[in-house]
């Protein structure tokens, strides 16, 4: 299998797709397509029918949606950590992952992911205030925290992740959001701070972040950190 990914510091969906591949335990390789380059549009058209990444190329197919990639992998490796083993927990995991897959547009737009950036504070006032005060953003932050809190209360009592001791695709879906909260110094409840730390400290997430930092060094740290 080959997974076509974007820049690791900013491509949220390829991060999720890569985590799904790693969680499956199946062998795969990656190819990076930087979308900001002059030839990117033509290269993307050659590999993706939708013009989006990630793309999983396997068995003569080109799977272009991150959710579809995760489900394909789970069908090939149903005992993997992509979804919880328990049926009730698996349904709940699909519900919370699905909410992240289809919602939170205002929050995503206000605070784009940048894994090598830390939002500055000027004159003692967090300079993220205008971003967080955009319409809908604080309500959506509260909803993310509510999802984390309620899911962990029902399914996460035996570990630090949404469904306990196993980091699943549900956690992978929220990992880019957890990184946003850290990047932009978003004020969170104590239990949310603990989950952000656990999520970003997971070995697979840490591996992706380290890759993002390596890319930033190659491309130019200041240029990467300045985006967006």
Residue 39's pLDDT band (boundaries 50, 70, 90)?
low
The residue ranges of every structural domain in the chain are 2-80, 87-205
Whether 2-80 and 87-205 share one fold: the answer is no
pLDDT tens per residue, range 116-162: 988 876 666 667 878 888 999 999 999 999 999 999 999 999 999 99
pLDDT at 47 over 80: no
Give the CATH H-level superfamily of domain 2-80. Answer: Glutaredoxin (3.40.30.10)
Split at pLDDT 50, 70, 90, the class of 219 is confident
* Alpha carbons within 13 A on the beta-carbon side of 138: 9
| CATH fold for the domain made of 87-205 | Glutathione S-transferase Yfyf (Class Pi); Chain A, domain 2 (1.20.1050)
């Amino acid at each position: 299998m080959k997974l076509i990914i974007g820049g690791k510091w900013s491509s949220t969906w390829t991060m999720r797709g890569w985590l799904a591949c790693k969680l499956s335990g199946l062998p795969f390789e990656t190819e990076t397509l930087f979308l900001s380059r002059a030839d990117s549009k033509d290269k993307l058209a050659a590999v993706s029918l939708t013009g989006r990444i990630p793309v999983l190329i396997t068995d003569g197919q080109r799977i272009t949606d991150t959710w579809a990639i995760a489900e394909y992998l789970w069908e090939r490796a149903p005992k993997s950590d992509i979804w919880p083993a328990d049926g009730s927990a698996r349904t709940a995991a699909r519900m919370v992952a699905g909410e992240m897959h289809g919602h939170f547009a205002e929050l995503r737009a206000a605070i784009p992911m940048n894994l090598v950036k830390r939002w500055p504070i000027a004159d003692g006032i967090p300079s993220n205030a205008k971003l967080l005060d955009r319409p809908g953003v604080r309500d959506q932050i509260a909803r993310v925290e509510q999802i984390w809190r309620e899911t962990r209360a029902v399914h996460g009592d035996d570990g630090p992740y949404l469904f306990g001791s196993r980091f699943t695709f549900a956690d992978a879906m929220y990992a880019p959001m957890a990184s946003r909260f850290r990047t932009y110094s978003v004020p969170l409840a104590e239990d949310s701070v603990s989950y952000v730390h656990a999520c970003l400290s997971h070995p697979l997430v840490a591996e992706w972040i380290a890759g993002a930092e390596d890319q930033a060094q190659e491309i130019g740290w200041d240029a990467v950190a300045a985006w967006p």
